[in-house]
Amino acid sequence: VPRSNEANLINSLNAILGSKPNLTVTVESIKSTTETKTQVIIHVLEKGPTGPGRRIPATELATYLHRMLCQQPSNIAADKCVGSNQARQGSAGGVLGATPCGLIGPFLTGIDPRLWKQAQEDNPDRDRYVPVPIIGFGEVCWRLRCQENETRLHQAFLDKVSDDITELQRRLTTTKSKTAEYRRKFVELEHRLLKVNPTYYYPSGLTRETTLNLTSDLPVISKSD
């Protein structure tokens, strides 16, 4: 789902949700996982009649979307809908503190404790992320594609920053050129003022007499100028 089709995706999701005015769909992120698949993370805000709104639980939303996509035709080609819940405060730390042999579910037994310890040390955010073992060649390929995608995103961001720096340097050069031009015009106007009124820097005692003499010659000065 490219960012350009984000509005169409939101409209389709609103239609699946019944086009209710009290529901607001927000796309949090769009990430390409394979050449033909994209991972989209959304949340739905339900506005209350009088008070503030609430987020619809991820599990409830995923179950409803999965059921509706199976029952009625839609222009959304969804492979699967799953809820993405953020870990509770302290729960991630409890998992990280456990030994790999004592973990169940997505964590398999028999993991080398040294690898598990290294994975914990390499974890960039211990409060949000938990190391997950890669099992099988398919997951290795998926990890490689994710890394390539992140590399492309980073490179695109660096290219954008480079373009912004180039544009700012161009504007700086233009501004310096205009400043130099305005300074040159200011100096020319200052010399022109000295030519019209030579008493500009003279003592005040000579100002009146010289100014009176120049007053009668102003038309001639204007014509010659």
Report the C-alpha gap between 225 and 220 in whole angstroms: 8
What are φ and ψ of residue 48, in 5° steps?
-80, 160
Please report the pLDDT score of residue 168 as a whole number.
95
**Using one digit for the tens of pLDDT, what is the confidence trace for 110-121?**
677 788 888 888
**Using one digit for the tens of pLDDT, what is the confidence trace for 40-73?**
888 888 887 777 778 888 888 888 888 887 777 6
Query: Which tokens belong to 199?
Result: 């008493």
Question: How many angstroms separate the first and last alpha carbons of the chain?
Answer: 69
Higher pLDDT, 221 or 47: 47
Please report the pLDDT score of residue 39 as a whole number.
83
**Using one digit for the tens of pLDDT, what is the confidence trace for 180-195?**
999 998 888 877 766 6
Residue 98: which pLDDT band, with cuts at 50, 70 and 90?
low
Query: Which tokens belong to 126?
Result: 């211990």
**Using one digit for the tens of pLDDT, what is the confidence trace for 154-207?**
999 999 999 999 999 999 999 999 999 999 988 888 777 666 555 544 455 444
The rounded percent of the chain whose pLDDT value lies above 70 is 70
Is residue 107 over pLDDT 80?
A: no
DSSP 124: S
Report the C-alpha gap between 174 and 177 in whole angstroms: 5
Higher pLDDT, 225 or 19: 19
Query: Which tokens belong to 28?
Result: 């949090």
Please report the pLDDT score of residue 198 as a whole number.
54
Report the C-alpha gap between 18 and 15 in whole angstroms: 5
Q: What pairing do the DSSP bridges indicate for beta strands 38-46 and 23-32?
A: antiparallel
Report the C-alpha gap between 105 and 177 in whole angstroms: 66
Q: Tell whether pTM > 0.75.
A: no
Place of tokens 């001639």: 220
